Structure 1
Amino acid sequence: MRALGEKLGVDPTAVYRHFADKDELMREVGDRALAPATRDFTTTDDPRADARRMCIGLRGALLKNQVGLTITSRGPTRQRNELRITEILLDAFLRAGIEPRRSALGYHALIEYSVGSAALDAPLSRSAQVRRDTYKRWKDDYRSLPADEFPAIHAFVDDLYPSSDEVFEVGLDALLSQLMRPQ
């Protein structure tokens, strides 16, 4: 905390007045990364669409703030924005008529899928050109494999590595179709 105070050009005691310890400070930094997902979010009469929008917003916010992604990947911030995301998703399950235990499991599945997808996609999210070049190299590597040994790869090579947003949304829709279906 002392080093942070010095880096910010403030007396270290100023940092201590706002945060009890480093963990609290890091949770606040992580929570601020979540703000774009909750800002101006309003629920509709469609709980599945609300959960979908929130997961897309959460992933998008984390892709734009990789420090926040690193922090929130370690666990919930238990701060305002994370609590709002939790409330929105659990409320969506409640409004969809899903029983509590399944709702809690579904909530965790959606969070892990959204945060995990952001973590996987973050390294290539900065530059569209770098991403295109990387995907092209990967496809070229697959194309160079012997077709008799890897026939399925050859059959699908042109369709491998579409946009990470498209992949995320296909997976999210599959999850939601099962998780938000009353049993």
Structure 2
Amino acid sequence: MSERVVPEGRRQRSRPTKQGAVLSERLIVETALRLVEQHGAGALSVRRLGAALGADPTALYRYFRNTDALLLALADELIGRAQEGWTATGAWREDLRSMGLRIHASYLTQPQAALLAAHRTTGRPHETRAVETILGILRDGGFPDALAVRIYHSFVDQALAFAAQDAAASARPPLAAADAEVWHAVYGRLPADTHPNIAATYPLLAADMRDSGYPFALELTLMAAAALHPDAGR
């Protein structure tokens, strides 16, 4: 795509596409997510997206100035889905836990998109609302601003990093299966005289590595945040 985006007020088309739908930013984003999940990163092109929408590819310039802008919209959509239906309880620890699990889960519903966009900063409405919400949880929970920002940074990066890692396994099942087999084929056969710690913990290790480490990592982060809370020593 090129740098020819049309101002927001003049984007909407009233004429339906060949598929009978009226083109909109939301329709483009939803279609792009579907194509990426079906065909991978290569599907994020003007030609393929236009064909799927039944629209002239140049019509997409009315909504997104280039494919990177569209990619940021995909990332922002996943962040928005994580916040759908979420309500605060007023307990900072519970609210952070539920928000983190929602963000992680939302990206895993679209693993191919997660691989492309989990590391991006969108600056779009859903993301800015999430940043405001998480900082609000921390500040309302009694954390001073400097500490709230540090915890926010670690909390979000942790959720997105695990989302990207777990999405990679989900998006490429054969590779994930091959990696899982290594725990049995290699680690399960290491002798106790050379690798005593692996040999002693192998059954637990192999079982634990089947699942995502994110839920427990999140709990560790919440425990650390609680220990740093101004009221922790009282």
> What is the TM-score with the length of structure 2 in the denominator?
0.68
> Could you tell me which residue of structure 1 aligns to residue 216 of structure 2?
170
Distance in 1, matches of 2:170 and 2:58, equals 37
Query: Relative contact order, CA 8 A, sep 6+: which one is greater?
Result: 1
Change (3 A) 1:71 1:143: closer
Instruction: Give the partner amino acid of 2:141.
Output: A
8 A Cα contact 1:31 1:68, kept in partner: no
Q: Which has the higher helix share?
A: 1
2:229 aligned with 1:182, yes or no? yes
8 A Cα contact 1:142 1:153, kept in partner: yes
Q: CA RMSD in A?
A: 2.6
2:80 aligned with 1:35, yes or no? yes
CA deviations over 1:58-110 (Å, ceiling 9, x no partner): 11111111233123333211222222221221111111211112211111111
> Could you tell me which residue of structure 2 aligns to residue 72 of structure 1?
117
2:137 aligned with 1:106, yes or no? no
Distance in 2, matches of 1:27 and 1:78, equals 8
Distance in 2, matches of 1:37 and 1:151, equals 43
Report how far residue 43 of structure 1 moved: 0.8
Distance in 2, matches of 1:17 and 1:70, equals 26
8 A Cα contact 1:27 1:71, kept in partner: no
Change (3 A) 1:70 1:123: closer
> What is the TM-score with the length of structure 1 in the denominator?
0.85
Distance in 2, matches of 1:7 and 1:129, equals 28
Query: Identity over the aligned pairs, expressed in percent?
Result: 26
Gap runs ≥5 in structure 2: 2-45
Gap runs ≥5 in structure 1: none
8 A Cα contact 1:54 1:85, kept in partner: no
The structure number with the bigger radius of gyration is 2
After TM superposition, the structure 1 stretch with the greater mean CA deviation from structure 2, 22-31 or 7-16, is: 7-16
Distance in 1, matches of 2:116 and 2:169, equals 19
